[in-house]
Amino acid sequence: MASSSYAPFSAVFSGFAATKPNPPPTCSAFLVPKRTSNSRNLKNGVSLKSWNKHVFQFHSRNLRVYARATEEKTVHDFTVKDISGKDVSLDKFKGKPLLIVNVASKCGLTSSNYTELSQLYDKYRNQGFEILAFPCNQFGGQEPESNPDIKRFVCTRFKAEFPIFDKVDVNGPSTAPIYQFLKSKSGGFLGDLIKWNFEKFLVDKNGNVVQRYPSTTSPLQIEGRVRATRGLSDIYARSYFIRSGNSVSASMGLGNRVAQINCLECGC
């Protein structure tokens, strides 16, 4: 192996390719995030240094954080705390599409987002759709209140009925595991930082991240994608004519299981 610290990454493994009488010097790959004080030693994001073992060592705590997060397979593998401090296993949401949002009470986006989130939830909750809201105070200190005060504010002012969870960090060394996972599944190798309040992650019924939306995307703008995630529809807003000629509103089935029958095929 060349002595230069800028040797290609594949050279790290040259000693493993074949048995030789005099194997090359052992070394390890230290993965170092760019924009660090060691960035001048990088080639393609990898710094090579002599060491006494063939071993990968994560030089950054952030890398260890995201490595642990990606060991989890889906959102359903996580347990979080609700707004009252009780553990909630997210596997209770198996089979349901989810919209996961970091929220704040004193943001310029608060009123519009909470209003539209409540509209989406009221419209599709009976079809299995869930919204999971995680308060966060990392953006301009716009969620400074205690959990009881946050719950009171949201439930009183916006009549929100979707689940609200414990206040969390979504960036930095104390990032909540659920957000480590979400970012690792929708960003680059190191995960993509949450930029502001009310970023949204759409998760399918199997717990897989489908899409990530910035704060500037309102809840109603992604309504179509929410429906498509599990075939949710607007059938309750329609009216149908039965054989007698009377009009029947599908809203009478709201909250119940509805069987749609093709009358041409069944001979009604």
Domain end call among 19, 36, 59: 59
What is the rounded distance in angstroms from the CA atom of residue 141 to the CA atom of residue 143? 6
Question: Could you give the 3-state DSSP secondary structure of residue 1?
Answer: coil
Residues 106 and 209 in one domain: yes
Question: Could you give the 3-state DSSP secondary structure of residue 175?
Answer: strand
Range of the domain at 52: 9-59
pLDDT at 239: 44
Q: How confident is the model at residue 232 (pLDDT cuts 50, 70, 90)?
A: low
Q: Residues 26, 52: contact at Cβ < 8 Å?
A: yes
Residues 261 and 221 in one domain: no
113 pLDDT more than 70: yes
Q: Express each pLDDT in 21-80 by its tens digit.
A: 444 444 433 343 444 444 444 334 433 343 343 333 434 445 555 445 555 589 999 999
Average pLDDT, stretch 166-194?
Answer: 87
pLDDT at 53: 39
Query: How do strand 98-103 and strand 79-81 relate by DSSP bridges?
Result: unpaired
In this structure, of 129-138, 159-168, 174-183, 230-239, the range with the lowest mean pLDDT score is: 230-239
Residues 54 and 74 in one domain: no
Q: Is residue 2 part of a domain?
A: no
Provide the token pair at 188. Answer: 């680059």
Residues 46 and 115 in one domain: no
What is the rounded distance in angstroms from the CA atom of residue 135 to the CA atom of residue 102? 6
Task: Specify the number of domains making up the chain.
Answer: 3
Residues 20 and 80 in one domain: no
Average pLDDT, stretch 94-120?
Answer: 97
Which residue, 172, 196, 169, 170, is CA-closest to 182?
170
Residues belonging to the active site: 107
pLDDT at 233: 52
Q: Which residues does residue 102 pair with via DSSP β-bridges, in sequence order?
A: 134
- Determine how many CB atoms are found less than 10 A away from the CB of residue 118: 18
Residues 46 and 111 in one domain: no
Q: Is residue 97 part of a domain?
A: yes
Provide the token pair at 19. Answer: 């048995």
Predicted TM-score (pTM) of the model is 0.62
243 pLDDT more than 60: no
CATH assignment of the domain containing 104: 3.40.30.10
Q: Is residue 30 part of a domain?
A: yes
Cite the beta strand spans of the chain per DSSP E. 27-31, 46-50, 56-58, 79-81, 87-89, 98-103, 130-135, 200-203, 209-213, 239-241, 247-249
In this structure, of 9-23, 213-227, 229-243, the range with the lowest mean pLDDT score is: 9-23
Q: Residues 165, 134: contact at Cβ < 8 Å?
A: yes
Residues 246 and 160 in one domain: no
157 pLDDT more than 90: yes
Residues 223 and 253 in one domain: no
Which residue, 178, 201, 205, 200, is CA-closest to 97?
205
pLDDT at 192: 84
- One DSSP character per residue, 181-248 reads HHHHTTS-TT-----STT-EEEE-TTS-EEEEE-TTS-GGGGHHHHHHHTT---GGG-EEE-TTS-EE
Residues 51 and 136 in one domain: no
Q: Hey, CA dihedral for 97, 213, 180, 174, is it positive or negative?
A: negative
